[in-house]
Amino acid sequence: MAELNAKLILEKAMPRVLKATVWGALNFFVVYYLPMMLYPKDILPLDYVTPLIQYAIIVVFFAVVGQLFSGTIIGCGFGIARALVIIAYFFAVSDGGIFSVTLPISEVTVNLAVDISILLLMIVSVNLFNIAKNLLAAIVLLTEKSTDIDLT
């Protein structure tokens, strides 16, 4: 029994864990490390590091669990959850599409407001696509399971 479990872990779980680790590291590199490399901490007069870390945590977490449960209904559920969390996160960070910040420049305080509604709309659209994709994938998975004939 122990031998069977070890074999199962080696054959099924380990590749998934390895894939999830690589996928998580790749996502962290693209979402956090690459932007920080392009735009170092002090290049813009804004605190964009904190939101970037938060976003990286969300993306890496869902990338890892998505890979761990890929090809399952749970994986599809995490895919939908990821899309919803990202939509909510961007809405919260951008204050509903109007990103405003107060910048102290020498002795003057400058209020900056950037209307990123279009960008937000694109992010919402892409995540709605993701939700649709995961729903369809879940339906496909359920359909395949229900039509499988067990001949044993």
Partner 1 sequence: MKIVIRMLSIATIILWIVILFFSVTAVYSVMNLGITVGEVQMLPSSNGITFSLPFSITNNGYYELADLNLTTRVTDPNGTVLDLTETVVPSIPRGTTVNTSHTIPIDLDAILSMNHVALLLNDSSFNVEIFAGLNFARAVPVQLSTNATIPWGAPFAHFTIGRISVSPHNSTHSEATIPVSFENHAIIDITGTLKLEVYNDSNEQIASGMANINTPSQQSYADSLLVYMRQQDISKLTSSGNMHIIFETPVFVVEWWEQYG
Site residues (CB under 8 A) for partner 1?
A: 38-39, 43-44, 108-116, 118-119, 122-123, 125-126, 129-130, 132-133, 136-137, 139-140, 143
Q: How far is the CB of 27 from partner 1 (least distance, A)?
A: 12
Q: Which DSSP symbol is given to 94?
A: T
Question: CB of 75: closest distance to partner 1 in angstroms?
Answer: 13
Residue with tokens 């994709």: 133
* Closest by CA position to 70, among listed 2, 127, 22: 22
- Alpha carbon 110 to chain centroid, angstroms: 33
Nearer to partner 1, 17 or 73 (CB): 73
User: How far, CA to CA in Å, does 96 sit from each of 36, 93, 121, 123, 129?
Assistant: 25, 8, 10, 12, 20
Encoding tokens for residue 128?
Answer: 């709605």
The minimum distance between CB 2 and partner 1, in angstroms, equals 38
Closer by beta carbon to partner 1, 17 or else 141: 141
Q: How far is the CB of 134 from partner 1 (least distance, A)?
A: 9
17 or 84: CB nearest partner 1: 84
